């Protein structure tokens, strides 16, 4: 197994923090430099979604759409027909929240390489409250044929993922978070669409994380180790297509699987893993995330704590579960 280079400071109190969306802003500008066909469209949230870096560098290739998310993706679909690679951005609650049918028909059924970038996803949006904390986007996007779904774990990975989807020729959804989050990867860490990465090897339980939750799983694994539980942490930035081989290998090895996401587990990342294991390696799993409920206002860290999405809370949950859960499929 190839070694995944983690940020050496990842477990320090002063670990570098940066919003995942900042990586998108840099990645989009770089993608624009690498390929003239890349264009960007925004629905009146250009700085918030970090598209201003692209707008400043390539004003001619930036299109202001105004607060009109249906028009956002359909204009992009028309530009894709004209040979462009359009990136569209808004808050995830609005795009893909409001314009799902337009994405379905004019992007995925029409099979055009439009990139839907949903910023401010998850409860860590904070004080804006439930209306703006998008939790259903993973479910909405992964159910669409032809759609690639990616939730990068930190800003460095978001930059790589942005450059990668600029060149994949497919409809793609990129999920971004608003708040500053710890950087666990490095410039040298690998990122490839459709690949999952083992960040920490372990034998007794597999912790599968996507987006902002991967860092929390790394923290949880440290706490579990102190308590005598050897956890493996697998980072799954691409939710569709899943890296089935990596996930299956880890699940077979440990016989216990936990998923974590800042989204609805129903239909979300946890849903995707449950479907996959149900077909290939049936076993009870636990799915950490939002349990069929909306978020609420609060400070981002308070909310993560409140909903059981911090490393400490996850470790506690996993420890209690593991105590009376056997390791499955270990007889072979």
Partner 1 sequence: MGLTTVQLEHKAIEIRQDIIRMLEHAGSGHSAGPLGLADIFAALYFNILNIRPSEPEWPERDIFFLSNGHTVPVQYAAMAEAGYFDKEELLTLRKLGTRLQGHPEREKLPGLENTSGPLGSGLSQAAGYAYTLQYIEEVSHRFVYVVMGDGELNEGNIWEAAMFAGKNKLSQLIAFIDRNNIQIDGSTESVMPLEDLKGKWESFGWHVVEIDGNNVESIIDAASQGRAITNRPTVIIAHTIPGKGVDFMEYDYKWHGIPPNSEQAKLALEKLRTLDGKITHEGAGV
Q: Which residues are annotated as catalytic?
A: 69
Minimum Å gap between C-beta 96 and partner 1 is: 15
Q: Is 101 in the site for partner 1 (CB under 8 A)?
A: yes
Closer residue to partner 1 (CB): 86 or 153? 86
Phi, psi of 151 (to 5 degrees): -125, 95
> Which positions from 31 to 70 touch partner 1 by CB under 8 A, shown as an x/- string?
--------x--------------------xx-x-xx-x-x
332 touching partner 1, by CB under 8 A = no
Q: Is 144 in the site for partner 1 (CB under 8 A)?
A: no
CB of 63 to partner 1, least distance (A): 7
Closest CA to 213 of 275, 299, 151: 151
Q: Is 14 exposed, middle or buried (0-12, 13-18, 19+ CB in 10 A)?
A: exposed
Q: Between residues 102 and 189, which has the closer beta carbon with respect to partner 1? A: 102
95 binds partner 1 (CB under 8 A): no
Binding of residue 85 to partner 1 (CB under 8 A) = no
Closer residue to partner 1 (CB): 70 or 214: 70
Q: What are phi and psi of 189, to 5 degrees?
A: -65, 145
Q: How many CA atoms lie within 13 A of 263 on its CB side?
A: 32
Nearest to 91 by CA among 120, 56, 59: 120
- Among 49, 90, 95, 106, which residue sits at the site for partner 1 (rule: CB under 8 A)? 106
Closer of 70 and 90 to partner 1 (Cβ): 70
303 vs 128, 138, 202, 295, CA distance in Å?
12, 20, 29, 8
**Partners of 233 in the β-ladder:** 200, 207
User: With DSSP H G I counted as helix, E B as strand and the rest as coil, what are the percentages for the chain, rounded to 5?
Assistant: 40, 20, 40
Pairing, β 257-264 against β 205-209: parallel
| Single residue of 1, 2, 8, 82 touching partner 1 by CB under 8 A | 82
Among 74, 119, 206, 250, binds partner 1 (CB under 8 A): 74
Q: Which residues are at the interface with partner 1 (CB under 8 A)? A: 39, 60-61, 63, 65-66, 68, 70-71, 74-84, 86, 101-102, 105-106, 109-111
């Amino acid at each position: 197994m190839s070694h995944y280079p983690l940020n050496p400071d990842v477990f320090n109190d002063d670990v570098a923090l940066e919003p995942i969306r900042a990586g998108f802003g840099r990645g989009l500008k770089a993608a624009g430099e690498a390929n003239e066909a890349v264009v960007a469209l925004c629905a009146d949230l250009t700085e918030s979604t970090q598209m201003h870096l692209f707008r400043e560098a390539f004003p001619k290739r930036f299109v202001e759409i105004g607060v009109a998310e249906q028009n956002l993706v359909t204009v992009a679909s028309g530009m894709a027909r004209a040979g462009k690679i359009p990136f569209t951005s808004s808050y995830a609650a609005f795009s893909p929240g409001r314009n799902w049918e337009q994405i379905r028909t004019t992007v995925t059924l029409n099979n055009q390489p439009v990139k839907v970038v949903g910023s401010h996803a998850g409860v860590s949006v904070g004080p804006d409250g439930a209306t703006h904390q998008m939790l259903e986007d993973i479910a909405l996007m992964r159910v669409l044929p032809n759609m690639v779904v990616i939730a990068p774990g930190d800003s460095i990975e978001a930059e790589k993922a942005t450059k990668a989807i600029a060149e994949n020729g497919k409809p793609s959804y990129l999920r971004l978070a608003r708040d500053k989050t710890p950087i666990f990867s490095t410039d040298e860490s690998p990122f490839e669409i459709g690949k999952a990465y083992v960040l920490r090897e372990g034998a007794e339980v597999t912790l599968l994380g996507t987006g902002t939750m991967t860092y929390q799983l790394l923290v949880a694994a440290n706490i579990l180790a102190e308590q005598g539980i050897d956890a493996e942490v697998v980072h799954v930035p691409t939710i569709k297509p899943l890296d089935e081989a990596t996930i299956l290998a880890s699940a077979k090895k440990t016989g216990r699987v936990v998923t974590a996401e800042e989204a609805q587990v129903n239909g979300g990342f946890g849903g995707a893993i449950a479907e996959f294991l149900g077909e290939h390696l049936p076993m009870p799993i636990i799915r950490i995330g939002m349990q069929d409920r909306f978020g609420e206002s609060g400070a981002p860290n308070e909310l993560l704590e409140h909903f059981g999405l911090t490393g400490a809370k996850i470790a506690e949950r996993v420890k209690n579960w593991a105590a009376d859960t056997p390791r499955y499929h270990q007889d072979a």
